[in-house]
Amino acid sequence: MPGFELFGEQEKEQVQDVLDSGVLMRYGFDGMRNGHWKARELETALADRMQAKYAQLLSSGTAALTVALVSAGVGAGDEVIMPTFTFVASFESILAIGAIPVLVDIDDTLTLSPSAVKKAITDRTKVIMPVHMCGSMADLGALKQICEQYDLLLLEDACQAIGGSYDGKPLGSYGDLGCFSFDYVKTITCGEGGAIITNNKEYHLHADHYSDHGHDHIGKDRGAESHPFLGYNYRISELNAAVGCAQIKRLDDFLKIQKEYYTILQDHLKQVEGITFRKVPEGGVENYAFLSFFLPNKECTKKIHEALGAAGIDGCFYWYDNNWHYYRKWEHLTHLKSLGKLPEEVHHRLLDYTKADFSESDKWMGRTISCLIKIGWTKTQVEERALKMTEVILSGLK
């Protein structure tokens, strides 16, 4: 991670196909394309790789989350349960449709705690949205049981975990809907892009129409298409899709590299007394994008993180103080800082997160360091990094 580290001739060839046709838009201009439909090609490849019936490409992972929610009928006033550790796009997508983000504690998986989820359910809850952060997953079996008990949707945000699996199923395919991001720093990239996968024909049809101004895409005359319902523009371009067509063919190679380097680092760190690793639910297989581990307490974790940076070991993240990925720095959410008026339902019903108790999340995040696994490293560099990290951490634990 990320896929741009190994850009090569495959990506150039796919992009050149689009430039040669001159058609950068995914819809229309049939006669000019010379048979090239890159978005369709990537959707077919993605659905096949993720063992899903349908895939819909979109302009970003954020767009994918937004469209996935709308496609399943989620809207104003509905509550969506999400974790305290994620990217801000999770609550942005919920607020964008007038729904209410309900933040819930994480556990040692660094994802949604099923027991905390159950306590947060109300008669307005419509969706449970686990976010598979840093390449590993929530306890999807437990969350699915909760969804079945309360008749809720399970929407997997697998934006950081493409290629991982749970119970033999690719992440994103276990729930009712799954979302991916193909932005520049993801395991495979389109530069910018995202996607939804689902086995539900109606959800896919809704996503297809909604993401293109409500166009029904019936016939070959775009100007004559009907609009069965309101939509917006969340289309991906053919240029972006072309990059993804090359990258998805390389996904398994990227995952193999990530696993090898992850294993080298973990094998070294296992020897350090005081380090434990995030829990991977039984039946789960990571995509090995990050190696996340716990240290004994918040104070030594912060000190060791700073020492790793001072030693020139980049790509190590202390999420507890991170501006974008942990609830503690989400002042724009907690204070509802918006350029325009937000829906009254959001103002009236969003919990006051300035007073919320997320001490259970803090207990885990305060002790967590995540190390990004770069596929552009050499094996020698990984070995050297592992030795250096071990040395720094041992020194910090004294």
Predicted pLDDT at 201? 98
Please determine, for residue 83, whether its predicted confidence score (pLDDT) is greater than 90.
Answer: yes
Please determine, for residue 109, whether its predicted confidence score (pLDDT) is greater than 90.
Answer: yes
The overall average pLDDT reported for the chain is: 97
Predicted pLDDT at 67? 98
Helices (H), the chain: 9-21, 38-49, 61-71, 89-96, 114-120, 140-150, 201-210, 238-248, 251-269, 298-310, 331-334, 344-349, 359-365, 379-397
Average pLDDT on 235-255 reads 98
Predicted pLDDT at 59? 98
CA dihedral (236, 241, 247, 251) in degrees, to 10, reads 50
Q: Which of 159, 168, 208 is nearest to 187 (CA)?
A: 159
Average pLDDT on 302-331 reads 97
List of residues 6+ apart from 290 with CB closer than 8 A: 1, 134, 135, 160, 317, 370, 371, 372, 373
Please determine, for residue 1, whether its predicted confidence score (pLDDT) is greater than 90.
Answer: no
DSSP assigned state of 111: S
Average pLDDT on 223-230 reads 96
Predicted pLDDT at 260? 98
Cα 231 to chain center, whole Å?
23
Average pLDDT on 21-44 reads 95
| Domain coordinates in residue numbering, the chain | 3-251, 252-397
Average pLDDT on 352-363 reads 96
CATH fold of the domain at 3-251? Aspartate Aminotransferase; domain 2 (3.40.640)
Interval 179-221: pLDDT, tens: 999 999 999 999 999 999 999 999 999 999 999 999 999 998 9
Question: What is the band of 307 on the pLDDT scale with cuts at 50, 70, 90?
Answer: very high
Question: What is the band of 22 on the pLDDT scale with cuts at 50, 70, 90?
Answer: very high
Average pLDDT on 37-49 reads 98
Q: Examine the residue annotation and report whether 186 is marked as an active-site residue of this protein.
A: yes
Q: Classify 35 as helix, strand or coil.
A: coil
The domain at 252-397 falls in which architecture? Alpha-Beta Complex (3.90)
Q: Which of 357, 347, 350, 354 is nearest to 331 (CA)?
A: 354
What six digits make up the tokens of 311?
């030693």
Q: Classify 330 as helix, strand or coil.
A: coil
DSSP string, 309-322: HHTT--SEE-GGG-
CA dihedral (347, 348, 354, 355) in degrees, to 10, reads 180
Write phi, then psi, for 354 (nearest 5 degrees).
Answer: -70, -20
Cα(319)–Cα(302) distance, rounded to whole angstroms?
A: 10
Options 38, 144, 186, 374, the catalytic residue: 186
Percent of the chain with pLDDT strictly greater than 70:
100
Question: What is the band of 99 on the pLDDT scale with cuts at 50, 70, 90?
Answer: very high
Predicted pLDDT at 34? 87
Cα(390)–Cα(127) distance, rounded to whole angstroms?
A: 41
